[in-house]
Amino acid sequence: MLHGLSFRGFAAPEGFFWGETMSIDKKSVHVRLTPEMHERLALIAGLKSDDISEHAGYLLEKMIVAEYHAVTVQASRLKRLGLIGSEGDCQGGTGK
């Protein structure tokens, strides 16, 4: 439970909210930031009393979730319009 948080009798289970420590195997990614972005990230992480690399991972995961959602919505719309098939192939392409 997150600091005793409950809502209308619902007690949040361990790992329900982002930011809680969980033992999940994670892949490593190396990124390069401009000095300005690194400074901003360090400031944000410091305000949240978080490690800079952990907070960078948290922000990156949030952006990946948002971008993935946008892509899947767009693919769904294209499929509904008949512009792509169920496997992502183009309908009525250029021919061979």
pLDDT at residue 87, rounded to an integer: 66
Gap between the Cα atoms of 66 and 34, Å rounded: 23
Tokens 């021919």 belong to 95
Tokens 């892509």 belong to 71
Gap between the Cα atoms of 33 and 45, Å rounded: 15
Question: Can you read off the two tokens belonging to residue 5?
Answer: 């948080």
pTM over 0.95: no
What does residue 57 show for φ and ψ, rounded to 5 degrees? Answer: -65, -40
Highest mean pLDDT among 1-15, 46-60, 82-96: 46-60
pLDDT at residue 62, rounded to an integer: 95
Q: How confident is the model at residue 26 (pLDDT cuts 50, 70, 90)?
A: confident
- What percent of the chain is predicted at pLDDT more than 70? 65
Domain ranges of the chain: 55-84
Helix H segments across the chain? Answer: 35-47, 52-80
Q: What angle do CA 67, 68, 74 make, to 5 degrees?
A: 90
pLDDT at residue 45, rounded to an integer: 95
